[in-house]
Chains A and B, each alone.
Chain A
Amino acid sequence: GAVVSQHPSWVICKSGTSVKIECRSLDFQATTMFWYRQFPKQSLMLMATSNEGSKATYEQGVEKDKFLINHASLTLSTLTVTSAHPEDSSFYICSARGRLDTQYFGPGTRLTVL
């Protein structure tokens, strides 16, 4: 079946630093990937839609300059949290759109900003 990986699975960083999270579709090509954020005991909130070779489309209220998204190939999208602060601590999940418009989800990345 379609597999999506994320790296790292968890990361701790100091306030003010930048963190990059990778999302890879391992056995299929994905022209579209999605980035979500999940707070404890809350739903997944879509942050942005990432399209290969073009700029990402951000949801209302999501800061483009803070959450940089790059989708440079059909199997890789990256999310960079710039100048991270404690309020950015969260669980970040990506998904990749595969065959029949099905979304396949990665296992998530836990970010803790000290």
Chain B
Amino acid sequence: GNSVTQMEGPVTLSEEAFLTINCTYTATGYPSLFWYVQYPGEGLQLLLKATKADDKGSNKGFEATYRKETTSFHLEKGSVQVSDSAVYFCALKLDAGGTSYGKLTFGQGTILTVHP
């Protein structure tokens, strides 16, 4: 089956620190990969995505590269801000056939807290 595994949190960093949140996946087909962010009291928002191997998704200073050889999609940011404090979810979606077509499979989420 399809699954996503994220590094366990919570992650606590000081402002301007470097961030990495690991994500690995298992999929029966050729998935698209996503990072969603959930700010306190809000719904999940798409942060970035990549649809094929070696693609790099980027947004708001965050980036992640689709690594097929290591089945990974690690999220990185060079300098975090207090406003980045949120829950981050890695997810995959199969885009071609099968009963899982179009459905998102999520990791367990990683809580990030950034202190001033």
Please give the distance in Å from B6's CB to the nearest CB on chain A: 9
Asked if B42 is an interface residue, CB under 8 A from chain A, the answer is: yes
Query: Complex formed: what's the CA distance from A106 to B38 in Å?
Result: 11
**Given the interface contacts A44-B89, A49-B103, A101-B102, does A107 sit within 8 Å of B42 by beta carbon?**
yes
* Interface residues in A94-113 (C-beta closer than 8 Å to B): 95, 97, 101-108
Query: Complex formed: what's the CA distance from A46 to B4 in Å?
Result: 14
Q: Within 8 Å CB of B43, what residues of A?
A: 4, 6, 93, 104-108
The total of interchain contacts (Cβ-Cβ below 8 angstroms) comes to: 42
Complex interface bits, B27-66 against A, C-beta within 8 A gives 1, otherwise 0: 0000000001000011111100000000000000000000
Asked if B45 and A105 sit within 8 Å, CB to CB, the answer is yes
Asked if B104 is an interface residue, CB under 8 A from chain A, the answer is: yes
Query: Complex formed: what's the CA distance from A92 to B108 in Å?
Result: 15
Query: Complex formed: what's the CA distance from A93 to B89 in Å?
Result: 14
Asked if A42 and B46 sit within 8 Å, CB to CB, the answer is no
Query: Complex formed: what's the CA distance from A93 to B43 in Å?
Result: 8
Asked if B44 and A105 sit within 8 Å, CB to CB, the answer is yes
Please give the distance in Å from B19's CB to the nearest CB on chain A: 20
* Interface residues in B45-104 (C-beta closer than 8 Å to A): 45-46, 89, 102-104
Q: Hey, which bits of chain B sit against chain A, CB under 8 A?
A: 4, 36, 41-46, 89, 102-109
Q: Hey, which bits of chain A sit against chain B, CB under 8 A?
A: 4, 6, 32, 34, 41-44, 46, 49, 93, 95, 97, 101-108
Identify the 3 closest CB pairs spanning chains A and B, nearest first: A105-B43, A105-B44, A43-B108
